[in-house]
Amino acid sequence: MQKPVTGYSSLQIGLHWAVVVLVAFQYVAHSGMEAAWRALRRNEVPPTDTAALTYLHIGAGILVLLLALTRIGLRLTRGAPPPPADEPRLLQLLSEVVHVAIYALLLLLPVSGLVAWFLAVPAAGAIHVLLQNALLAAIVLHVAGALFQHFIRRTDILMRMLRPDPDDPAAVSHARSE
């Protein structure tokens, strides 16, 4: 029987923050992709000055998909720490719904974007935009929940994503090398 985890591993934390950076990049640097998409929808050649951002957007989206799949695999095999013992069931359910939504959106967004771009399916492009807005809402709820846990409930929820589980082999070997 596997010992219950008390925190996230270094790998889980690193993947979390890598996805955060990539998703933030996607929101900040999406203008090139939008310009290219509008041009293609009008049967025009996309502007050459947007090519780099377009390819970066596609590459980052594929990377988000791969990292999300890796994160899900780790969560299924290694597990995740339980909620605080005194956590009201309503907050646990809300957290679970937000986490499932984020994981689902991290999978569906790249797929819808790839279908829209490479298969030229306009409906997938419209769905992609709706999913972007849903992901943004889920992220806001996720961050608000983490801050609520940290500052109002005074739990270790936020800190668990900033420092690895003391039982994580990578954390143990890093501590020994210092």
Following DSSP, what letter does each residue of 45-104 receive, concatenated?
Answer: PPPGGGHHHHHHHHHHHHHHHHHHHHHHHHHHHT--PPPPTT--HHHHHHHHHHHHHHHH
Q: 0.85 cut: is pTM over it?
A: yes
Nearest to 107 by CA among 63, 75, 79, 69: 69
As a whole number, mean pLDDT of residues 5-32 equals 95
The pLDDT tens digits for 23-53 are 999 999 899 999 999 998 899 999 999 999 9
Domain ranges within the chain, ordered by starting residue: 10-169
The pLDDT tens digits for 116-150 are 999 999 999 999 999 999 999 999 999 999 999 99
Residue 153 is predicted with a pLDDT of 97
Residue 156 is predicted with a pLDDT of 94
Residue 168 is predicted with a pLDDT of 77
Confidence band, pLDDT 50/70/90 cuts, at residue 170: confident
Residue 3 is predicted with a pLDDT of 75
As a whole number, mean pLDDT of residues 98-106 equals 98
Q: Tell whether the model's pLDDT for residue 172 goes beyond 70.
A: no
Confidence band, pLDDT 50/70/90 cuts, at residue 177: low
Nearest to 68 by CA among 124, 135, 4: 135
The whole-chain average pLDDT of the chain stands at 93
As a whole number, mean pLDDT of residues 104-114 equals 98
**Backbone CA torsion sign across 105, 16, 3, 98:** negative
Residue 173 is predicted with a pLDDT of 52
Nearest to 134 by CA among 155, 107, 158, 115: 107
As a whole number, mean pLDDT of residues 165-178 equals 64
